[in-house]
């Protein structure tokens, strides 16, 4: 089974429980668990109205639904038809149009080059067979002056969280330059997928090699969810789950994602 096929089977199986247990807002653009959204980070291009946008590895396409609500024309792709089914329901409930397509990120060359003003992806890249090729293909889809916003796994978070006695807690990472893979199996144990972070410098080299200009690099800290009321969490934390709340001490000390904001100059 190819890696895109394995990803499809894994996410088709995981999608119902994931969407039920995770609260992902369509009222703000999210970057990852417990993190501030764009209302705080201000990373999206502006104005959004009229932009042609593509989301890669969209899941239930909450970010695309948010952009569509701001007046953008949105297309969203994902390898999982089950995830796209959730996306269709959310878009319908929000009263917006998002063009949804079942497509693996490894097949971006099937799309028309230089079509989009804004290409974005949140935490899909770690599941790519060849992340450098995905970045190059994403860059090729941008119009001159178009923007890429890539949120991906932070390599430091790939380490093992340890209790260190009187010294508190800390992280053990055997090699920053070769972070360990996160291997995930389907329920029947017959299929697995790999999620792997890459060093920040390596990913930056891939962006530059694709002809992009880096605008910002962000390692966001989480919002203080243990001290926030449910109403505050609902209003300010666009990606939340109880499982991630239990990981707050780790996320508060080690960045879970790194965000690259870049543009195509020509």
Q: Are 120 and 56 in contact, with CB atoms under 8 Å apart?
A: yes
Q: CATH homologous superfamily of domain 3-30+46-264?
A: Vaccinia Virus protein VP39 (3.40.50.150)
Q: Of the candidates 23, 10, 14, which has an alpha carbon nearest to the alpha carbon of residue 237?
A: 23
Instruction: Kindly report whether the global pTM for this prediction surpasses the value 0.85.
Output: yes
Strands 239-240 and 23-24: antiparallel
Cα separation, 156 vs 29, whole angstroms = 24
Partners of 45 in beta bridges:
none
Confidence of residue 82 (pLDDT cuts 50, 70, 90): very high
Confidence of residue 54 (pLDDT cuts 50, 70, 90): very high
Residue 99: exposure state from Cβ atoms within 10 A (0-12, 13-18, ≥19): middle
| Structural tokens at position 47 | 């104005």
Cα separation, 264 vs 262, whole angstroms = 7
Q: Give the tens place of pLDDT for each residue, 194-248.
A: 899 999 999 999 999 999 999 999 999 999 999 999 999 999 999 999 999 999 9
Confidence of residue 190 (pLDDT cuts 50, 70, 90): confident
Cα separation, 117 vs 53, whole angstroms = 6
- What are the DSSP E strand ranges found in the chain? 23-24, 52-56, 73-78, 98-102, 116-122, 142-153, 160-163, 169-172, 182-185, 192-195, 212-218, 239-240, 257-264
Tell me which residue has tokens 């969280």.
Answer: 161
Residue 254: exposure state from Cβ atoms within 10 A (0-12, 13-18, ≥19): middle
């Amino acid at each position: 089974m190819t890696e895109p096929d394995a990803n499809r089977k894994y996410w088709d199986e995981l999608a119902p429980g994931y969407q039920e247990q995770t609260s992902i807002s369509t009222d703000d653009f999210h970057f990852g668990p417990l993190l501030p959204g764009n209302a705080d980070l201000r990373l999206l291009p502006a104005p959004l109205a009229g932009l042609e946008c593509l989301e890669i590895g969209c899941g239930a396409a909450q970010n695309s639904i948010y952009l569509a609500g701001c007046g953008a024309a949105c297309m969203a792709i994902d390898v999982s038809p089950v995830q796209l089914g959730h996306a269709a329901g959310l878009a319908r409930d929000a009263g917006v149009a998002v063009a949804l397509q079942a497509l693996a990120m490894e097949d971006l060359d099937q799309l028309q080059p230089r079509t989009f003003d804004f290409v974005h992806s949140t935490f899909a890249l770690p599941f790519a067979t060849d992340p450098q090729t995905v970045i190059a293909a994403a860059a090729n889809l941008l119009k001159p002056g178009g923007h890429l916003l890539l949120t991906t796994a932070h390599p430091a978070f790939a380490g093992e969280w340890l209790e260190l006695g009187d010294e508190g807690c800390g992280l053990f990472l055997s090699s920053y330059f070769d972070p360990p893979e996160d291997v995930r199996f389907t329920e029947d144990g017959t299929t697995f997928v790999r999620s792997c972070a890459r060093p920040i410098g390596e990913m930056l080299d891939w962006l530059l090699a694709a002809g992009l200009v880096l605008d910002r690099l962000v390692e966001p800290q989480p919002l203080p969810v243990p001290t926030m009321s449910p109403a505050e969490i609902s209003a300010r934390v666009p990606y939340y789950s109880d499982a991630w709340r239990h990981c707050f001490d780790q996320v508060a000390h080690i960045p879970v994602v790194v965000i690259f904001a870049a543009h195509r100059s020509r």
